[in-house]
Amino acid sequence: MVVVSGGRVAGVVTDRTPDLALRGVLLPGLVNAHAHTEYGPSFADLATAGLPFPQWIGELSARRRSFPADGWAAEAAGSAAAMLASGTTCAADVVTHGPGIRALAAAGLAGVSYVEAVGADDAVWDSHERARVTELLTADPGAARSLGISPHTLYTLGTRVFRALVALAGDLGLRLHPHVAETAEEVLYVAQGEGPFRLAMERFGLTMELAGVGSARTPIGELAELGALGAGTHVAHGVHVDAADRALLRERGVAVALCPRSNAVLGAGTAPVAAYLREGNPICVGTDSLSSSPSLDLLDDVRALRDLARAQGYDAPDLDARLVAAATAGGAAAMGLADIGRLRRGARADLVLVEGPASDDPHATVVGGAASAVWLAGERIGA
């Protein structure tokens, strides 16, 4: 039982009968550590289109340029409703267009709205992208949320632009959340400056410093060179990383938001989940958007991570417990949120009741289950 006062946890009472198999578990609300709520229900057909990643991102870019400006709020609201219905009460939301900031605040979701910069070389940055990002960073994110910056990727932003975004985050005291090492094509582009991403940026008329030359570094190494890896950063995807990359992430205290179903839909590859676990990398869980994922149910991604870890040889008995932690406290820690993701006195009373297979291990029940009731700041949603 959880005692709530003023929207906060006032106490936790454990009254489980010993040796009684659990069918329902009350736990902190789930934390989605990587989402794009503005790419909501109207973009869901892209998740079933079967497009390889370079074509998918080209189609998404074309669609977003022609999407009506007054439609983004409804998309983000639809995504927020889907997250709440499946037990997510806190989200790291990458906001490209702006209305997602207000939509998640209105829905009552805690977390960080990361204003995204994308598709910018020096000329674009100086002409309008800097002003657009700066303007969005003046928005009111709501009492339960804060703002951050998301430099999209190393291939959709020029090197100087990426550095400028890192500097801007430092000047404003904001957190960073870039995508990194999601695809093999990205690895090729960052190292050698070649491949489909070079061609795509040239088709968009963008002049990028890495094009044709590369950096001779991995994407993780390049982020480090740009000053983007630190305690205020968590990254999305982290699929194509080697042991040295993982060690660098651990050294810098950078968590990785793993999005296995999105990676599968886009043919991006499979993250080294077992290695992250064995080596002690901080991890969290994300769904990505409805444009690349079958749903925004975070527990579906937790189950996908469990399957990957087992297939990669992780056979320790703590797997379910570590994945539940990643989907709650891990996501909160990645966003620097001390009062989210844990059942303890003073924490925000965001809760989810998960019902699942009867088990003596509550973590197994959660991993195999589904949300049946959700509370925000102690108030039941949809009651």
Residues designated catalytic: 182
What b/e string do you get for 188-199 counting C-beta neighbours within 10 Å, with b at 16 or more?
bbbbebbbbbbe
Nearest by Cα to 144 from 373, 335, 313: 335
3-state secondary structure of 1: coil
Pairing of strands 351-359, 22-28: antiparallel
User: Which are the contacts of 111, defined by CB distance < 8 A and separation ≥ 6?
Assistant: 31, 32, 90, 91, 92, 93, 104, 144, 145, 335, 337, 340
Nearest by Cα to 89 from 101, 98, 80: 80
What b/e string do you get for 259-273 counting C-beta neighbours within 10 Å, with b at 16 or more?
bbbbbbbbebbebbb
**How many CB atoms lie under 10 A from the CB of residue 57?**
24
Taking phi over 0 as left and psi of -120 to 50 as alpha, with beta for the rest, 87 belongs to left
Q: Side chain identity at 277, as an amino acid letter? A: L
